[in-house]
Amino acid sequence: MKHIHPFHCASLLILLALLAAWATQAQNPQKVSKWPHGVTYEIFVQSFADSDGDGIGDIKGMTSRLDYLQDLGVEGIWLMPINPSPSYHKYDVTDYYDIHPDYGTLEDFKTFVKEAHDRNIRVVIDLVLNHSSSQNLWFKEALKDEHIKYWDYYVWAHKDDPRVQPVVRKMPDGTERPRRTNWNLVPNSDYLYFSHFGRNMPDLNFDNPKLQQEVFKIGKFWLKDVGIDGFRLDAARHVFPDERAVDNHKWWEFFLQEMKTVNPDVYIVGEVWASTEIVGPYLKGIPALFNFDMGLEIIKAINEENGSQLVDKHLKIREFYQSINPDFVDATFLTNHDQNRIMSSVNNNMDKARMASSLLMTLPGSPYIFYGEEIGMQGTKPDQYIREPFLWNLREKDQLRASWIKPRNSTDSTVLALAVQQTDKNSLFNHYKTLIHLRNSSKVLTYGDLSPMKLSGQPALCAFVRSDAGESLLIIHNLCQTSATLKLPQSYQGYKTVWFATKTPLLSSRQVQIPGYSTVILTK
């Protein structure tokens, strides 16, 4: 009888165990995640899918791709602004009760919402309330006469008001230069208006009760009459000036309660782009907030190939948020429409992009994906080049690809189109899809608590335990290209079974060897 080396025998057993575990996963894909704790997909409609060939993505094109999103495992969609607007990005609204004509009609959008709901996908729209467009009827009317009701919809100051006097700063060479101001002089007038984000976006006055009631009316229209599920609140921190942070907090509590009168399950997620300490107090009125700190920490860990502090930082943020609102929703993400895309943030390294998605989907939180992230779209500022058209197929076959902008980052020479990636089981797309479905089918990954595994002398490894209702998983990420062997401490040696792995590991009772740039999940 031919002698079989014990190592080879162990390797064979491990491989068989892996195949059995993965087969079990495939045969039991029952989804346990439930909105709003599932995966949400952010879409810039203008770049997503063009149904009529005019070069601009639209609602009908987006509706035709709902089956794709359902297959990907998405449970929610967040739409960047869809209201009429003079800008390409549409963050300056001219009419809060309608759809931009380039995108379609209100009826088109109602059809989209119904079709999404038929697939158990929720719909969240961007609500831009810090400011309107200077082309908004409210502002146009306000400019005519300070006695018109719309005058008090905005923030004004007389030209003699000390708040608007120019502030001069001294430059290093001794010269003086006026400091940038947020006050804008109205031609042929004694008044200036305030605008935090630019003169074409005048700030709304939330000290005005009539404006507040108008905002409630807008929110209820979209929830009740159109049937959406919630809002992403743009620039939520800036409704009142920074020195009035408490007023900001209270306003959003007021807004949330009003929205609940028409939809008790309304979902509100906010953009408060600041440190954890500033973000936290908003959680009483905005139960879901984007976790900007975690996105940056994941990218830092990936690029430095050092995950030693990642879990501790994530845990610290979550514990602080839970102390304010025990039911908060941690809206985690890698990058969004205001940031360089994740692929570009890791220097277009495909292995690192995979690792970033693996961390996002296995750490606690309710993950958001920016459209095209799953196929490795690239993008660096200025912003329009972060929001380039989605690549559905090769250029000559792509009937849905938008063309409103000539892309300089995501082209057929830099990104493999979705149709190509769908046929490759090792593609980035299939990596995302696998992880999303894995998360959707696991209570532990969706709802489980987090506890770090303390490691010494192995900074490239990021290890932690997720646990829920007596079930637990030991998750180990190797953030560098060389394999690493982790000796399991006595308290972790009960994790004997490979539940999932992106590359085949070697497991014994006391240690696990993790291939470079890979993830291993062990169960007891």
For the record, the structure tokens of 41 come out as 């997909």
How far apart (Å, rounded) are the C-alpha atoms in residues 389 and 417? 11
Max Cα–Cα distance, the chain, nearest Å: 101
Check if the beta carbon of residue 204 is closer than 8 Å to that of residue 132. yes
Give pairs for 213-219: CB < 8 Å, separation 24+: 214/153, 215/129, 215/255, 216/255, 216/258, 216/259, 218/96, 218/97, 218/127, 219/127, 219/255, 219/258, 219/259
**Token couple for 328:** 């908060």
**Distance from C-alpha of 484 to C-alpha of 468, rounded to nearest angstrom:** 28
Q: Which residues contact 210 (CB under 8 A, 6 or more apart)?
A: 149, 152, 153
Torsional sign, CA 248, 252, 253, 254: positive
Catalytic residue among 271, 297, 330, 398: 271
Q: Which residues pair with 184 in a beta bridge?
A: 193
Active-site residue 176, yes or no? no
* CA separation for the pair 489, 73 (Å, rounded): 36
**DSSP of 482-496:** S-EEEEPPGGGTT--
The answer to whether residues 128 and 244 touch, using CB atoms and an 8 Å cutoff, is: no
Q: Interhelix angle for 350-362 vs 292-304, to 10°?
A: 140
Residue with tokens 């020479």: 413
Look-up: residue for tokens 């942070």? 245
The catalytic position among 50, 58, 126, 234 is 234
Say whether 234 is catalytic.
Answer: yes
CB 63 within 8 A of CB 111: yes
Length in residues, the chain: 524
Pairing between β-strand 329-331 and β-strand 368-370 as defined by DSSP bridges: unpaired
Active centre residues (catalytic): 234, 271
